[in-house]
A and B are shown apart, each in its own frame.
Chain A
Amino acid sequence: MSSTLLWITPLVPAAIGLCMLRVRSERMLSVLDVGSSMTVLGLAMAIAYKVIASGPLTAVGLLRADDLTLVFLLLVGLLALVTSVATVGWIQQEIAKGEMRKESLRYYYALVQGFIATMLVTVLADNLGILWIAMEGTTITSAVLVGFHGHKQGLEAAWKYIIVTTIGISFGLFGTVLVYGAATHAQSGGTAGSMNWSSIVALSHLDPSIVRIGFIFVLVGYGAKAGLAPVHMWLPDAHSQAPSPVSALLSGALIKCALLGILRFHTIACHACGPAFSERLLLIFGLISVVVATPFILVQHDLKRLLGYHSVEHVGIIALGIGFGGRLGVFGALLHVINHGVTKALAFLIAGDAISRFGTRDIPKMRGYLGIAPWCGTLLLMAAFSLAGAPPFSIFISELMVIRAGISAGHALAVGVFLVMMVVIFAGLVHHVGQIVFGVADAKADRSPESRWPLLGMLTLTVVMLLFGIYMPAGVNRALVRATEVVLG
């Protein structure tokens, strides 16, 4: 019974997505979309309940849910639901503006459901091959979504995205093959189940030299998908050109799924050749990401590109947390996965509203957002302070943990560079968002009242963002501690 949950969870959005292709009523599509996401979140919570109560679940020998899975599974479920709810209002805005045609709506919804289904498989995969297949599946579905509007820029972004990440994660497949090779060698003979993460981790003597090469390929491959510099060039393009709810899913959930892939291989590498090797690599890539993103954040004029570069920085912070290592570092990194996912999804949803109201994505041309949309304006300001790492928001807590982990591991230089970048980014981000929020709005700006559905979604995310900043529920804390144990083995 409980293992049925595992394969039902991705099957629900996949099946509903297929059904949507035959539905033409706008209203019905919205109902199906929200219904599917609610079911997914419900199933995710049921899985969480089972795993916490009675340990890891497995299904059909290919899927598995452990404490680490839960962190990512619940994040994907929550963001799926929130973006579905927000889409209800957003899609009306888009149709009114002529950005979306009514006839193509069903393809949009079906693709979003397919995208969510592939992300769920990524998160639930135990077999490393299935992990890769699902990861490439997310690329294919989301690349179509990035170019969905059919604008020149959208198609350019979609092309860069699909080409760079496909070649990127084919490196990931090669790394997977090498680790699998090491595993079959260690088992001398090998069984069909030996491609499973859980059985590879349990092997005692993997050949360290081939696992090292395998990890490098995986880090480059899934790192390209996660947006780690220097293979991040596609990310600001794709995340800024996608329809806003899709941007929220891309930045909030998808890059975290790629990070989960890296974490799984990190655990294998730690077992085979000690933590020092993979931690050092993650530290270097993380620091490069933070440093590379900073100047682009400062000079950015495009609101959604700004948020895209900001995702590069935050993926860097998560990699730094894992790289600093120890319980505190990994705990901070996992908490940051949730915090950044929630906050960045919120920011993208608001950005979508702001861009559609002002009719431009150019920051200097946006003024007085607070005046024309008081709720969204306030939330944008809060999201910006949170993203910049100010208390009392959740990101402040997880960044503090990462920094403390760095200090206690003796990485003074890395922590120093990181802190300087934080200060610069804080100033840049608050300056940009301040420009948008304050002042007097242009006469041409859309002053229609804020629609209820997107606000409902945004407020849900804001509550989580504030809650984790002020008070960490004991249950969440315990779950994260156990997830940390899974990473550290």
Chain B
Amino acid sequence: MSAELATRLIDDIGALLLVTMLIILASGQLFRAIYAVAAQSVFLGIAGAVLATATGNIDLWIIAAITIVVKAVLLPWLLIRVVKRIQIRREIEPVIPIPVTLALAAAIVVLSFHLSASLGPVQHAITGHALPVGIALILLGVLVMASRKKALTQMVGLFASENGIFFTAMAISQGMPLIIEIGVILDVVLGALVMGIMVLRVRSSIDTDIADLESLKG
């Protein structure tokens, strides 16, 4: 695969990642947000495969496979299981109205592109527009977490945010060393398990959403 084609494909996938992120931000339903983050992880895996073909780096194939198995299948499955176990109402109650959230999101995307346009020659070390897309995804993930005060939506925002990091990491010339990627993914899975257990525990003992607890103040 030629370098120009790889760059074009990475830019296209970057656009798809941003679109899925906007779907998460705009969705009023928890299941839709979970499916969107799963789709986003599939695109991330495809990006890994594209970069693996373009650079001939075998590690990237492995990373792409792990990404799809863990982030597109395992974690969404875990989230859906938790949702079904606690039988919460499926609607998400936004703290900030959705149109305002989307306007903020647009501002974040523009800012991210503006920021990385100011960078010097180092840009050539990164394929296509992976850097601004990565920055935008991380910040948009935080926006998801800030605008929805429900435990499971906060987890969705966290996973989406992490997708942005993985995207940029893949696109930096050689990708991160394989052992590091595996360690990071392991942490993500362990963290998600602990969070899931906490959510279930609070729901079963006091029947509220763990993110709604507000007794600690001042």
| Chain A residues within CB distance 8 Å of chain B | 127, 129-130, 132-133, 136-137, 139-140, 143-144, 147, 150, 152-153, 155-160, 162-163, 166-167, 170-171, 173-174, 177-178, 180-182, 184-185, 190, 192, 195, 207, 209-210, 213, 236-237, 240-241, 296, 299-300, 305
Q: Which chain A positions have C-beta within 8 A of B165?
A: 170, 173-174, 177
Inter-chain contact A174/B125, CB cutoff 8 Å: no
Inter-chain contact A167/B119, CB cutoff 8 Å: no
Interface string of B176-218 (1 = CB under 8 A from A): 1101100110110011001100100110011000110111101
| A/B pair count, beta carbons within 8 Å | 143
Chain A contact residues: helix, strand, loop or mixed: helix
| Chain B residues within CB distance 8 Å of chain A | 115, 118-122, 124-126, 134-135, 138, 141-142, 145, 151, 154, 157-158, 161-162, 164-165, 168-169, 172-174, 176-177, 179-180, 183-184, 186-187, 190-191, 194-195, 198, 201-202, 205-206, 210-211, 213-216, 218
Q: Which chain B positions have C-beta within 8 A of A136?
A: 184, 187, 191
Closest to B125 in A: A185
Inter-chain contact B218/A299, CB cutoff 8 Å: yes
Inter-chain contact A162/B119, CB cutoff 8 Å: no
CA A213 – CA B119 in complex, angstroms?
10
Q: A129-B183, A177-B165 are in contact. Are A171 and B138 (CB under 8 A)?
A: yes
* Chain A CB within 10 A, most for which of B119, B142, B187, B211: B187
Inter-chain contact A155/B210, CB cutoff 8 Å: yes
CA A296 – CA B217 in complex, angstroms?
10
CA A158 – CA B151 in complex, angstroms?
13
Inter-chain contact B138/A155, CB cutoff 8 Å: no
Q: Shortest distance in angstroms between A205's beta carbon and chain B's nearest beta carbon? A: 11
Q: A140-B187, A167-B141, A184-B174 are in contact. Are A159 and B120 (CB under 8 A)?
A: no
Q: Shortest distance in angstroms between B86's beta carbon and chain A's nearest beta carbon? A: 14
Closest 8 CB pairs of A and B: A129-B180, A185-B125, A156-B213, A207-B122, A181-B172, A133-B183, A136-B187, A177-B169
Q: Which chain B positions have C-beta within 8 A of A192?
A: 177
Q: Which chain A positions have C-beta within 8 A of B206?
A: 152
Q: Which chain A positions have C-beta within 8 A of B211?
A: 159, 163
Inter-chain contact B174/A190, CB cutoff 8 Å: yes
CA A171 – CA B169 in complex, angstroms?
13
Which of B121, B124, B180, B184 is the one whose CB lies under 8 Å from A127?
Answer: B180
